[in-house]
């Protein structure tokens, strides 16, 4: 009688344990990933809620309604869109007051100071001061390719492009600068301060009306002033305006008298030693 053969296969228990352990680890990773995605989705939903978005902008300053509207529009433009495609830039906790102030100062140089503050839960306030016009600054000759003009404030900062102006209704500064560029300080503040003091005292002390200033890089320690009477005054930048203008008044009253229309220039750089030249006839 023939007995049938049979085989019994044994699966090692160690292999089953490894497989089971690997499955648990993979399941843990999947659950962690799903949990993270769910948490991220909740966070994104929260930051996109309208309650946490910037809803109100208040603007206060020494300008007009148009100025306030321009600032508000610039803020709206700066905060339009999203970070990483999903987080709104208008999310109030993500709005940086410092960033907005710097951004506004860069795109709107007409404003001298801009302060931005967050007002939770969903507003910001903006305070500003506008730059005060001092003079029209132009460089080079009007016929040159590099000729340009700009409005400057009392610090010598160019805050706006300007067309060439003629006549004496607006005070003008001519210079040999290579460029008059908006957003830069074209003249140092100490110079504009002296210009203002000399120009302000001309009418009061010497009875002359200022129409223009002149700057030349070849003579960095001085500037010129053109007056409506038709002649030019040359002064030192560091001169004392009161003293110099009183000397000028003495010369006009005691020496020049009624010959003002014939004067080409008066040199006031050497204290009591005053030189003047008559126009060529």
Domains and CATH numbers, the chain: 50-130 (3.10.20.310), 133-278 (3.40.50.11690)
CA–CA separation, 128 and 62 (whole Å): 7
Place of tokens 């020049």: 256
pLDDT-based confidence at residue 5 (cuts at 50, 70, 90): low
Of 169, 156, 152, 139, nearest in space to 110 by CA: 152
- What are 8-42's pLDDT values in tens digits? 555 555 555 555 555 777 778 877 777 777 767 76
Range of weakest confidence among 4-18, 106-120, 141-155: 4-18
Exposure class string for 176-188: b at 16+ Cβ within 10 A, else e: ebeebebeeebbe
- Mean pLDDT, range 269-274, rounded to an integer: 93
Q: Which is it for strands 123-130 and 133-139: parallel, antiparallel or unpaired? A: unpaired
- What are 157-175's pLDDT values in tens digits? 999 998 876 556 788 999 9
Q: Which two tokens stand for residue 120?
A: 């939770």
Residue 141: predicted pLDDT = 58
Query: Is the model's pLDDT at 99 over the cut of 70?
Result: yes
Query: Is the model's pLDDT at 67 over the cut of 50?
Result: yes
Claim: this prediction has a pTM higher than 0.85: no
Q: Which two tokens stand for residue 47?
A: 């930051």
- Mean pLDDT, range 249-268, rounded to an integer: 94
79 touches 54 (CB < 8 A): yes
> What does pLDDT average to over the chain?
85
197 phi and psi angles, rounded to 5 deg: -70, -45
9 touches 15 (CB < 8 A): no
Residue 104: predicted pLDDT = 94
Residue 1: predicted pLDDT = 45
- What are 172-205's pLDDT values in tens digits? 999 987 788 999 999 999 999 999 999 999 999 9
Higher pLDDT, 38 or 143: 38
Query: Is the model's pLDDT at 79 over the cut of 70?
Result: yes
């Amino acid at each position: 009688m023939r007995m049938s053969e049979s085989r019994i296969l044994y699966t090692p228990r160690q292999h089953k344990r490894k497989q089971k352990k690997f499955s648990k680890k993979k399941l843990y990773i999947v659950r962690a990933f799903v949990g993270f995605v769910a948490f991220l989705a909740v966070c994104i939903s929260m930051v996109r809620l309208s309650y946490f978005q910037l809803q109100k902008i208040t603007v206060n300053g020494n300008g007009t309604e148009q100025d306030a509207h321009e600032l508000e529009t610039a803020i709206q433009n700066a905060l339009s869109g999203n970070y990483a495609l999903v987080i709104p830039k208008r999310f109030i906790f993500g709005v940086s007051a410092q960033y907005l102030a710097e951004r506004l100062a860069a795109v709107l140089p007409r404003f001298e100071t801009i302060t931005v503050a967050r007002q939770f839960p969903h507003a910001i306030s903006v305070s500003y001061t506008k730059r005060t016009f001092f003079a029209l600054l132009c460089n080079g000759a009007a016929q040159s390719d590099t000729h340009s003009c700009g409005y400057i404030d009392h610090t010598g900062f160019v805050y706006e492009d300007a067309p060439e102006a003629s006549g004496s209704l607006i005070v003008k500064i001519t210079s040999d600068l290579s460029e008059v560029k908006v957003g830069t300080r074209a003249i140092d503040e100490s110079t504009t301060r002296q210009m203002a003091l000399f120009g302000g005292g001309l009418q009061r002390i010497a009875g002359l009306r200022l129409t223009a200033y002149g700057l030349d890089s070849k003579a960095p320690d001085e500037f010129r002033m053109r007056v409506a009477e038709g002649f030019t005054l040359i002064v030192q930048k560091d001169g004392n305006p009161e003293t110099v203008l009183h000397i000028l008044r003495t010369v006009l009253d005691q020496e020049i008298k009624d010959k003002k229309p014939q004067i080409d220039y008066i040199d006031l750089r050497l204290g009591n030693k005053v030189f003047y030249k008559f126009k060529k006839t």
